[in-house]
Amino acid sequence: GIQVEQSPPDLILQEGANSTLRCNFSDSVNNLQWFHQNPWGQLINLFYIPSGTKQNGRLSATTVATERYSLLYISSSQTTDSGVYFCAVGTYSGAGSYQLTFGKGTKLSVIP
Using CB under 8 A as the criterion, which residues of the chain lie in contact with another protein when the complex forms? 4, 30-31, 33, 35, 41-43, 45, 48, 86, 88, 90, 92-93, 95-105
Cβ-based nearer residue to another protein, 13 or 23: 23
> How far is the C-alpha of 108 from the C-alpha of 16, rounded, in Å?
13
Q: Which H or E run contains 65?
A: none
Minimum CB–partner distance for residue 8 and another protein (Å): 15
Alpha helices in the chain (DSSP H): none
Minimum CB–partner distance for residue 39 and another protein (Å): 13
Peptide bond preceding 8 in cis form (omega within 30 of 0):
yes
What's 75's DSSP letter? -
Cβ-based nearer residue to another protein, 43 or 71: 43
Cβ-based nearer residue to another protein, 26 or 76: 26
Buried b (16+ CB within 10 A) or exposed e, 21-45: bebebeeebebbbbbbeeeeeeeee
Minimum CB–partner distance for residue 48 and another protein (Å): 4
Cβ-based nearer residue to another protein, 75 or 91: 91
Minimum CB–partner distance for residue 18 and another protein (Å): 25
